[in-house]
C-alpha cells in the first residue's frame, strides 16, 4: 500500500466519477443500543446528502501513510487457510451489502469491539472500480485490467451541538436554540481488501485512524482480526522514550546527544532520497543500523547495549521506518542550538582579537616610551657628536636619526633604565607597528617579523636570524 494507490481511489470520490452502488448505516447510542439501521442506493441520494456522505468516505482515505493510514495484515493460518474475520469480510463484500444477516453480524462485531463513550454511526459503502490499464508513462488505455471490488467502512462520532442562542424566524425572537445530534468526521475506518499496486490484496486491510496517538489497537485485533500496528507517532514516542531513558533526560549532555541522534537519522533519510529518489522504498532502522547510529554519536558501550535491548523488545522483527522516528521539533531545536554555538564562537574569536589588539597597543606604547628614553640616553652619552638637532624637530624624528647613525655601533644602555624593564627593545621606527604579541605553547611572546636582508643585534651581539 502506497500513497499513489490511495490517491487513485480518493480521486474517484467525486460527483461524476463515484461508482458507489450501496451505502448502509447503523446508528448506536451511548449505551451501545442500535437506534437505527438503513440502506440506500448511493447515487439516488439527495444532492446535499450525497456530498456529505462522500466527504466522510474521502476522509477515510486521508492522512499520512504510516501514521493515519496503516496497512494491517491478517495472520497466516495453518495450511494457509483464511481466518474467520477475513472470510466474513469477503462474504460481506460479495453480498454487495444486500445481505441483512451479514450486515447485522458486522455491526455487532464493531459495537462490541469499538471502545468509545458516546453515540456513533457505522457507515459501510460498496464499490466496484474498473481499474484501467496504464502505460509505462502513466497514460490510460481503454482496456480494463481488473475490477477492484471493495467495502469501505467509516465509524463517526455523533455529538450534540453546543448550547447557545438563536433566531426563531416564525416567532421573530431570539431564544435558546434546540440542540441536535450531528455526525462528525470519522474516528476510525478501513478499506477491504487493500488496494496495493493497483490490485486487490485480500490478505491486507487499509486502516484509517483520526488520532495517531490512539489508533484503537483493540479494534484492529478484535473487530478485524489483524495484528495491531503502531502509528508513526507511537513509534516515535517509543523510540524517544528508549533513548532518553537510557541517556537520562535531565542531563544537558544527554539532551545534546539525543538531538545529534535525531540529526543522524534525518541525514540517513536525506541520503536515501538523494540516491534513490523520493519515491524509493523507505529505509527501516534495523538493529544493525541503530548500532551504527549510536557508535557514530559516541554513545558508551554500556548505554548502547541497554538501548539495543529495549529497542529489540519494543519493535521485535518489524523495525520501524527511519522517517517515522524523526521529531521535526527536535531537529529545529538542534538547528537553533548549532546557530547559537556558531554565534558564541564568533563572539569568542572577536573578544580574543580585541584582547590581542589591546596587548599590541600596550606593547607599542611601551616601545615608544623605551625608544624615547634610549634617545635621551644616547644624546647624553655622546657629547662629542657633530649632529646638530633643531629644537623644533619632534622627538620621533630625533630618535630615528640617532638610531640610523648608530646602526653599526654597540649601544650601551644606562643600568638604571634597564632595571626598570625585563625586556628592552630598540628597533627602527618603521618596525614598531610590526611588533605583535602572540601566545605560543601557552606562553605570551613578542613577535618581530624579520626580512631576509635584515640584521639583528641582541645584547650588543650582531647576528643574522
Residue 420: predicted pLDDT: 62
Q: What is the pLDDT confidence band of residue 386, given thresholds at 50, 70 and 90?
A: very low
Strands 461-463, 140-160: pairing is unpaired
User: Which H, E and C letters describe 223-270, residue by residue?
Assistant: CCCCCCCCCHHHHHHHHHHHHHHHHCCCCHHHHHHHHHHHHHHHHHHH
Region 271-300: what's the mean pLDDT?
A: 85
Of 245, 247, 330, 242, the residue nearest 287 (C-alpha): 242
> Above 50 in pLDDT, residue 191?
yes
Residue 219: predicted pLDDT: 95
Region 283-294: what's the mean pLDDT?
A: 88
> Above 80 in pLDDT, residue 409?
no
Residue 30: predicted pLDDT: 92
Of 178, 157, 206, the residue nearest 10 (C-alpha): 206
Residue 379: predicted pLDDT: 57
Task: State the Rg of the chain over Cα.
Answer: 42
Report how far residue 25's alpha carbon sits from residue 403's, in angstroms, rounded to the nearest whole number: 109
For the segment 194-210, what is each residue's pLDDT rounded down to a tens digit?
999 889 999 999 999 99
Residue 200: predicted pLDDT: 92
Residue 394: predicted pLDDT: 44
Residue 25: predicted pLDDT: 96
- Does residue 193 have a cis bond before it (omega within 30 degrees)? yes
For 261, the grid coordinates are 541522534
Q: Under 8 Å CB-to-CB from 296, ≥6 apart: which residues?
A: 264
For the segment 335-356, what is each residue's pLDDT rounded down to a tens digit?
888 888 888 889 989 988 888 8
Backbone angles phi, psi at 163, to 5 degrees: -70, 150
Lowest mean pLDDT among 68-77, 98-107, 140-149, 222-231: 140-149
Q: What is the mean pLDDT of the chain?
A: 83
80 vs 55, more confident: 55
Region 154-183: what's the mean pLDDT?
A: 90
Lowest mean pLDDT among 92-96, 250-254, 259-263, 289-293: 250-254
* Sequence spans of domains, the chain: 3-229, 234-326, 354-463
Q: Under 8 Å CB-to-CB from 462, ≥6 apart: which residues?
A: 455, 456
Whole-structure pTM value: 0.69
Q: Under 8 Å CB-to-CB from 131, ≥6 apart: which residues?
A: 144, 145, 146, 147, 148, 198, 199
Residue 202: predicted pLDDT: 92
For the segment 18-58, what is each residue's pLDDT rounded down to a tens digit?
999 999 999 999 999 999 999 999 999 999 999 999 999 99
How many other C-beta atoms can be found within 10 angstroms of the C-beta atom of residue 172?
Answer: 7
Strands 165-168, 188-192: pairing is unpaired
> Above 70 in pLDDT, residue 211?
yes
Region 290-310: what's the mean pLDDT?
A: 89
Amino acid at each position: 500500500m502506497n500513497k499513489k494507490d490511495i490517491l487513485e481511489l480518493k480521486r474517484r470520490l467525486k460527483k461524476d466519477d463515484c461508482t458507489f452502488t450501496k451505502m448502509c448505516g447503523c446508528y448506536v447510542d451511548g449505551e451501545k443500543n442500535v437506534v437505527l439501521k438503513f440502506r440506500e442506493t448511493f447515487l439516488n441520494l439527495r444532492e446535499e446528502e450525497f456530498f456529505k456522505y462522500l466527504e466522510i468516505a474521502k476522509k477515510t482515505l486521508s492522512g499520512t501513510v504510516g501514521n493515519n493510514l496503516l496497512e494491517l495484515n491478517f495472520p497466516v493460518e495453518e495450511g494457509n487457510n483464511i481466518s474467520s474475520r477475513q472470510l466474513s469480510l469477503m462474504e460481506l463484500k460479495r453480498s454487495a451489502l444486500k445481505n441483512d444477516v451479514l450486515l447485522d453480524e458486522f455491526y455487532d462485531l464493531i459495537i462490541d469491539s469499538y471502545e468509545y463513550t458516546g453515540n456513533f454511526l457505522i457507515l459501510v459503502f460498496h464499490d466496484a472500480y474498473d481499474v484501467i490499464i496504464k502505460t509505462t508513462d502513466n497514460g490510460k488505455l481503454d482496456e480494463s485490467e481488473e475490477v477492484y471490488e471493495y467495502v469501505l467502512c467509516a465509524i463517526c462520532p455523533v455529538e450534540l451541538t453546543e448550547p447557545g442562542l438563536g433566531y426563531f424566524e416564525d416567532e421573530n425572537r431570539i431564544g435558546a436554540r434546540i440542540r441536535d445530534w450531528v455526525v462528525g468526521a470519522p474516528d476510525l475506518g478501513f478499506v477491504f481488501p487493500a488496494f496495493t499496486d493497483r490490485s486487490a490484496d485480500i490478505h491486507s486491510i487499509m486502516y484509517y485512524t483520526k488520532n495517531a496517538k490512539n489508533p484503537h489497537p483493540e479494534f484492529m485485533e478484535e473487530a478485524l482480526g489483524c495484528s495491531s500496528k503502531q502509528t508513526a507517532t507511537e513509534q516515535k514516542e517509543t523510540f524517544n522514550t528508549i533513548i532518553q531513558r537510557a541517556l537520562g533526560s535531565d542531563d544537558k549532555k544527554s539532551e545534546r546527544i539525543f538531538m545529534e541522534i535525531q540529526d543522524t537519522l534525518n541525514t540517513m533519510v536525506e541520503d536515501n532520497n538523494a540516491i534513490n529518489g523520493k519515491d524509493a522504498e523507505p529505509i527501516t532502522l534495523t538493529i544493525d543500523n541503530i548500532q551504527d547510529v549510536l557508535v557514530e554519536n559516541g554513545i558508551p558501550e554500556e548505554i548502547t547495549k541497554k538501548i539495543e535491548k529495549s529497542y529489540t523488545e519494543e519493535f521485535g522483527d518489524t523495525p520501524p521506518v527511519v522517517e517515522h522516528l524523526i521529531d521535526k521539533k527536535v531537529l529545529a531545536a538542534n538547528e537553533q542550538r548549532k546557530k547559537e554555538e556558531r554565534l558564541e564562537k564568533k563572539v569568542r574569536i572577536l573578544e580574543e582579537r580585541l584582547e590581542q589588539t589591546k596587548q599590541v597597543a600596550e606593547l607599542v606604547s611601551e616601545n615608544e616610551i623605551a625608544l624615547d628614553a634610549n634617545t635621551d640616553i644616547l644624546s647624553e652619552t655622546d657629547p662629542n657628536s657633530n649632529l646638530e638637532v633643531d629644537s623644533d624637530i619632534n622627538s620621533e624624528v630625533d630618535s630615528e636619526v640617532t638610531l640610523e647613525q648608530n646602526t653599526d655601533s654597540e649601544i650601551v644602555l644606562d643600568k638604571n633604565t634597564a632595571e626598570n624593564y625585563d625586556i628592552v627593545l630598540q628597533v627602527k621606527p618603521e618596525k614598531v607597528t610590526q611588533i605583535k604579541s602572540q601566545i605560543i605553547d601557552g606562553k605570551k611572546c613578542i613577535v618581530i617579523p624579520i626580512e631576509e636582508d635584515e640584521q639583528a643585534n641582541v645584547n650588543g651581539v650582531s647576528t643574522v636570524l
